[in-house]
Structure 1
Amino acid sequence: MVKITVTAVGGRRLPLAPGLPVTLEIAGKTTEVATVGDVKAAFAVKYPQFYASRQKLTLKGDKKALKDEATLASAGLTDGTELEIKDLGPQISWKTVFLIEYVGPLIIHPLMYYLPRVFYGGPVQHSLLQRYVFLMVILHFLKREYETLFVHRFSHGTMPFNFVFRNSAHYHILGGLLLAYSVYSPTYSATSPYIQGTVRDDPRFLWAYTAVWLFAELSNLKTHAILRDLRPAGTTKRAIPYGYGFDFVSCPNYTFEILGWTVISLMTGSYSAWFFNIAGALTMINWAFKKHRNYKKEFGKEYPKRKAIFPFIL
């Protein structure tokens, strides 16, 4: 049996866990076998509202969270050691967050496309460009919902609930309200001088761009499938990805995502489309650099030479 004392970080009072510090007993295990996850489970038994994903356990005086799968011995803990706990707040699953993020544009775009009188004060005769863009946006976010449900395997089960508002703002506001209001407006209608007699009304132009967009979307799906197959279900295992874009960059899924939105930005010339595209690209470039560094740190010399996100460039 192992005994571990848990106290609040900085001696603060935790409403969901009155009476701290508390000593927990993990029966039938030694420090070589018992894990940090076992400590969290024991704490949740005593304080049911303080479920495991809401807990952040650290060594006393340290800010780095201990991994659930780490044994107490590997974390430097002995019988009777004191750990500090922090309340991460109400949690929500990553899968739920993604579903909420992507459903916004799936609601907003059809509303603005099919109800122009409500948003523009009159009818809009949709141009070929608007029809193509509408279909591309809807298919993109349906694909994202499908990937969330059936493709992605998340390394972290939950995130703080309040993050859902921050994360959704990018898709609901930039990719939803601003993008939809711009591209379905009379400026891009069939009778607009911006469209009539221009390349944006030429089916050959639209088909060419759509072909590139379709390549980007299917390639993005392919890279997500490769990443999924590297991680067995129910694990956080990491491995070096190879093939289909991964031989050139660490994050080709981001590369193809940016390419797809660049196609829509070029097709429309909309400032809103470019703003949404650039904002997303900057975020993905930052993520790619972090993942690239983590890959090199974790796998060392085994990790092949490749760029982070743009082949031969970045």
Structure 2
Amino acid sequence: MATKPITLAIEPRGKRIPALPKETSIYLQGSTSDLYDRLAKESRFSVHRLRITNKNDGKPIANDRKTSISSVGLEDGSAIQVKDLGMSTPFLPLRGPQIAWRTVFLIEYLGPILIHPLILYALRPYLYTFPLTTHTLTGGSASPPSTLQVLTCWTITLHFLKRELETLHVHRFSNATMPVLNIFKNSFHYWILAGLLIAYFSYSPSSLTASDGNTTLTALGLALYVMGEAGNAYTHLVLRSLRSPGGTERGVPRGIGFNWVTCPNYLFESVAWIGILVISRSWSTAVFVAVAVGQMGVWAKKKEGRYRRELGGKYQKKKYAMVPGVF
């Protein structure tokens, strides 16, 4: 005899979804992906715009064909909450158009890759020759870039090239899309702060980066940079190994750094950027590092909470989210 389907009560979470039904029926043996497909069809939204949460325990329900309805704690009469992940504003009431996470990352990281070499090698003679004369407009006689300026340019460029490669070949995303408006906010962080701000002030002939600097300090900066980038790449490979292709499951990360803090990937990235700061000696780099490290700290605290909720006793709680002994 066929198993009888169960009935789930549905509540919107956040803004109202007009066509969302008040309940739906599904088999316990069905997958959570089936539930997402059903609600997407009934609400007439893209499946990627929906996030389903078990109201009883507050845990998000992954869109995963290998995860059954019964395994996430749902039974007949259970209530689920459905959130529209789209964005809308009074100025752009588009009901949340979506864009692939991978596409967003590729666009964000492209900014510094283009801006730094462009300013250092192509635009520098035009940007820093004063007063403005006819000679300036045809290419001034600015002094050649210093060793520190070249190192700053290439450490930053290589950092973001690494990120592009990881986006294409390493990272596996739990959500397929994000609201398209996010691309403007995220791109400001990378194109303006990591790109234009650092590049314009670091490559000026009057900046500290234009000096020869201290060789020992420069070597220290390069050592921190290499160590940070290598450690960050290692942790990303560990995190990739925990998730199957196309899957959204979470595993318990283990390995170098994961016994110290929740997010050693952020720790190692911070180390790499401190190395760049030591090399550049620029206040503009310091501004970006402060903003980036602060943001990663917020993400690390959220991830610690998510691990505790979703992994339960399998996860060894960490005292520090990102920096051992500090935070």
Establish whether TM, by shorter chain, passes 0.5: yes
- For the pair 1:232 / 2:240, whether they are aligned, the reply is no
Deviates more, 1:262-271 or 1:166-175: 262-271
Amino acid at match of 1:137: I
Q: 2:28: which partner in 1?
A: 32
What is the CA-CA distance between 1:233 and the residue it aligns to? 1.8
Q: Which residue of 1 aligns with 2:116?
A: 109
Which of 286, 309, 313 is matched with 2:322 structurally? 309
Q: Distance in 1 between matches of 2:63 and 2:253?
A: 25
Residue 186 of structure 1: SS of its match in structure 2?
A: coil
Contact 2:116–2:153 (8 Å) recurs in 1: yes
Partner of 2:307: 295
- Shifted more, 63-72 versus 217-226: the winner is 63-72
Indicate the residue corresponding to 1:54 in structure 2. Answer: 49
1:242-261 to structure 2, matched below 5 A, reads 242-261=254-273
**Aligned partner letter, 1:147:** E
Structure 1's 76 and 45: CA in aligned 2 closer, same or farther, altered over 3 A?
A: same
1:193-224 Cα distance to aligned partner (Å, 9 max, x none): xx25xxx1x44442332122111111111111
Tell me if the contact between 1:130 and 1:189 (Cα under 8 Å) persists in the aligned partners: no
Gaps of 5+ in 1: none
TM-aligned CA distance change 1:33 to 1:106, over 3 Å: same
The answer on 1:68 being equivalent to 2:76 is no
Superposed displacement of residue 71, structure 1: 5.3
1:1-314, aligned counterparts within 5 Å? 14=18, 30-42=26-38, 44=40, 50-56=45-51, 67-69=62-64, 74-77=73-76, 86=84, 88=86, 89-114=96-121, 115-121=123-129, 122=140, 123-188=142-207, 195=211, 200=213, 202-297=214-309, 298-300=311-313, 302-303=315-316, 305-314=318-327
Q: Is the 8 A contact 2:262 2:318 kept in 1?
A: no
Would you say how many aligned residue pairs link Structure 1 and Structure 2?
Answer: 297
Deviation, structure 1 residue 42: 3.9
- Hey, what's the Cα distance between the residues in 2 that align with 1:299 and 1:11? 30
Q: How has the CA–CA distance of structure 1 residues 210 and 65 changed in structure 2, closer, same or farther, with 3 Å as cutoff?
A: closer
- Structure 2: segments with no counterpart, 5+ residues: 87-95, 130-139
Supply the distance in 1 between the matched residues of 2:262 and 2:236 (Cα, whole angstroms): 12
Deviation string 1:26-49 (CA, Å, 9 cap, x unpaired) is: 8xxx5212345324424555787x
Letter in 2 for 1:106: I
Which secondary structure state, in structure 1, belongs to the residue aligned with residue 160 of structure 2? helix
* Identity within the alignment, %: 37
CA separation of 1:264/1:229 partners in 2, compared to 1, >3 Å: closer, same or farther? Answer: same
RMSD of aligned residue pairs (Cα, Å): 3.5
Distance 1:248 1:56, change over 3 A: closer
> Under a length normalisation based on structure 1, what TM-score does the superposition of the two structures give?
0.79
Letter in 1 for 2:289: N
Q: Does the aligned pair in 2 maintain the 1:258–1:281 contact within 8 Å? A: yes
Once the 2 structures are TM-superposed, how far is the Cα of residue 229 of structure 1 from its aligned partner? 1.2
